[in-house]
Structure 1
Amino acid sequence: MVEEKMMRVFEHMHANPELSNEEVETTEYIYNFLKDEGFDPVKFRNITGLYCDVGNFDAGNTVIGVRADIDALYQEVDGVKRANHSCGHDAHTAMVVGTMLRIKDHEKLRTTGVRFIFQPAEELGTGALSVVDEGVIESLDYFIGVHLRPEEEADNGFASPSIEHGSAASIEFKIVGDDAHGARPHLNHNAIEVGTDIVNMLSKIHINPIIPSSVKMTKFLSGGKSLNIIPGIAECGIDLRAQTNTQMEKLKERVFEILEHIGKLYDVKIEVVNDSGIVASESHQDAIDLIRQSIVDVLGEEKCIDPIITSGGDDFHYYTVKFPELKGAMLGLGCSLKPGLHHPYMTFDHSALINGTDILYHAILNVE
């Protein structure tokens, strides 16, 4: 019965994806589903999403949080741009709901509080911070997330006790100057040439090579239909990746030094219009050990693999960065996922959701 219900949740979400911060119907669906199952969910005050408490939250009792992300990506599928669950958030929600149904009447809840959080806007990297602002994290002792893993990271039937994501950042900026006639290149600075020098200098950034990192220009818009105009304006974007938060700080410092230097060299204004990103994982060993034991309980020792180190990102790690005392980690679930996360036609073995649900359930049982 639990499996049928969680698969019903998965199928509904998969068929009705909603973009980040637009998960209105998704929130309503989960809320009503949980109400019908006898839970008492609470919608967030200022954002989409919701949470639901079960168990005993009396002082002295351990409180464990379990998170599902509920938003979808925006991408082209079959020639149509639309919301699409190609990152597995529909699966994450189904597993967390399944865990709720399994733990609902367990005696463990007499001495343990569990807060299930359905978080919006993970794909924007802002949802976790919004949930923090809702004031529902401070009371947690443990916090567990879950994410499907591509087959090159975890085989079907295997699981990892933590996903060690890297930090990711985006810097958008404008090169601001004046256009000039193609016959008079001395009257302006060609924004394309300015941007080319920025690209070349980005490739000269050298920081500790032992810690993986990368920086590259991923957006450059300049010029127009008239080829006899030398453009003075360009809209640019840079993608940055680093395995640690300290490495990211160094990387961003070098990028801003380059932008400042090029601006002075060409005597043009370089205006930063957006500086955003997500932090690298700072998992807690106690949480990793808790998930590891739960994987062993469900799948066996031989199916528990080492922590997964990946250059991808997830805003779940804001929780442990904002609350260093919080014992947080993410379960990585092998499920024959291919060809990869964020691929518009991503597929995985749906039966693996039972493994994920069982592991989350055992994590609650194993917490002291």
Structure 2
Amino acid sequence: MSHLSSTGLSPEFGQKLIAIRRQLHQYPELSYEEFETTASIRTWLQEADIRIANYPLKTGLVAEIGGKQGGPIIAIRADIDALPIQEETGFAYASVIPGKMHACGHDFHTAAILGAAFLLKQQENELDGTVRFIFQPAEEKAGGAEKVISSGALEGVRAIFGMHNKPDLPVGTIGIKSGPLMAAADGFVVEIEGVGTHAAVPEAGIDPIVTGAHIVTALQSIVSRNISSLHSAVISVTKMHSGTAWNVIPDKAILDGTVRTFDENVRSVVLNRFDQVVQGVAAAYGTKASVRWIKGPPSVLNDAELAEVAVQAAGHAGLQVITPTPSSAGEDFAFYLKKIPGVFVFMGTSGTQEWHHPAFDLDERALPISANYFAILAKHALKQLNSY
């Protein structure tokens, strides 16, 4: 496969990145708990003589490689946290922490972006500006990006780039598109208040379970009757809890779930109609209802000009560019794109399972390919920004 050998990198470089990824994989840490992960990243960067920037982050860190004085600053971001999942891969380097696993490939992202930093450090004097590397905590909690922004790490940055591994894309391919790539991800909790009674005499109470069942059904009409067929939206009720005994009608029911959208106007319509439907159905059945929103990240919206730069860099890296299908998964990289333009890409990793699966794995040949790509992309982006 020519694209695997076109990086011109030594086998030793690839093995180094694999060793880093496997160490991270063995010792996963959850969101906001990434203290040892941060310490390891710091050590690897310091061993490469890469400067650690001083930003007030409890976990995660920022590093910089600077070339031309007064040149533009770009950022490359990797997420570093794991998930509360019991690993089922059976690999020798499987997680040694019970109930915790890198089941989304953030260990891959971290190792690959470290690799890009190692490569750019060797070319530091040739850079037309500064590359700021953000090793971000708590992506899975959708709050880490905002912590980084609050720390000041985005100040002066003119463009930002990031990636997610994509198991269904083969190694050697990369998914790049302008516009929406990943969905806004909002969570909801609906609490329905009725009146409890004996199950044999339902007329003596007000059944919140019946209300909940009708709410679940009614919510599905929002997408089919309020959203254009040219747009996308998903409403999923994923949990329903009510009652403690088979012969008692309870006084409360709780529904949990998520809404996924790609367009801010569609997001607004769905959330507003959601509240109206819940209140209307609840009133029709004589119950009271409240909706609590858990606002997640907005949609990942890639900048068109920078997406073209990303495509050009992929050509120089020997990668096959495909136009990816947008994912309904959420990604807090979107918070950066609310502040500055940037591009998020899907890196092909020939995986056998989807994200968040206990047997998730990926093809490690994609590590040096990804590192090489982001090093090339950084140089292209700096040159492009210098031309403005």
Same fold (TM over 0.5): yes
* Contact residue 75 and residue 161 of structure 2 kept, 8 A: yes
In structure 2, relative to structure 1, the CA distance for the partners of 1:168 and 1:305 (3 Å cut) is same
CA distance in 2, matches of 1:42, 1:25: 18
SS in 2 for 1:238: strand
CA distance in 2, matches of 1:54, 1:34: 11
The counterpart of 2:372, out of the listed 354, 358, 362, is 358
SS in 1 for 2:192: strand
Amino acid aligned to 1:265? A
Shift of 1:243: 2.6
The counterpart of 1:347, out of the listed 346, 361, 366, is 361
CA deviation string 1:169-221 (max 9, x = no partner): 11112223342222332232211101011011112222112112121211101
**Number of the residue aligned with 2:238:** 218
Question: 1:131-170 to 2 correspondence within 5 Å?
Answer: 131-151=148-168, 154-162=169-177, 164-170=181-187
Q: Which has the higher strand share?
A: 1
CA deviation string 1:29-79 (max 9, x = no partner): 1112212322222465254211111104844x1111000000111123349
Amino acid aligned to 2:176? P
Question: 1:202-213 to 2 correspondence within 5 Å?
Answer: 202-205=219-222, 206=225, 207-213=227-233
1:48 and 2:59 are equivalent in the alignment? yes
CA distance in 2, matches of 1:103, 1:91: 18
Amino acid aligned to 2:172? G
CA distance in 1, matches of 2:240, 2:73: 48
In structure 2, relative to structure 1, the CA distance for the partners of 1:56 and 1:298 (3 Å cut) is closer
* TM-score normalized by the length of structure 2: 0.87
Amino acid aligned to 2:49? G
1:62 and 2:76 are equivalent in the alignment? no
CA distance in 1, matches of 2:326, 2:293: 28
* Contact residue 215 and residue 241 of structure 1 kept, 8 A: yes
* Contact residue 291 and residue 359 of structure 1 kept, 8 A: no
* TM-score normalized by the length of structure 1: 0.91
What runs of 5+ residues in structure 2 fail to find an aligned partner?
1-11, 90-96, 384-388
Shift of 1:19: 1.0
**Number of the residue aligned with 1:230:** 249
In structure 2, relative to structure 1, the CA distance for the partners of 1:56 and 1:67 (3 Å cut) is same
In structure 2, relative to structure 1, the CA distance for the partners of 1:179 and 1:49 (3 Å cut) is same
* Contact residue 302 and residue 343 of structure 2 kept, 8 A: yes
SS in 2 for 1:75: coil
1:71 and 2:81 are equivalent in the alignment? yes
**Number of the residue aligned with 2:32:** 21
In structure 2, relative to structure 1, the CA distance for the partners of 1:46 and 1:265 (3 Å cut) is farther
Q: How many residues align?
A: 359
**Number of the residue aligned with 2:386:** none
CA distance in 2, matches of 1:108, 1:231: 70
CA distance in 2, matches of 1:232, 1:148: 45
Amino acid aligned to 1:334? G
The counterpart of 1:334, out of the listed 345, 348, 354, is 348
Shift of 1:3: 2.6
SS in 1 for 2:317: helix
**Number of the residue aligned with 2:306:** 287
In structure 2, relative to structure 1, the CA distance for the partners of 1:127 and 1:362 (3 Å cut) is same
Q: Percent sequence identity over matched residues?
A: 28
What runs of 5+ residues in structure 1 fail to find an aligned partner?
none
* Contact residue 43 and residue 49 of structure 1 kept, 8 A: no
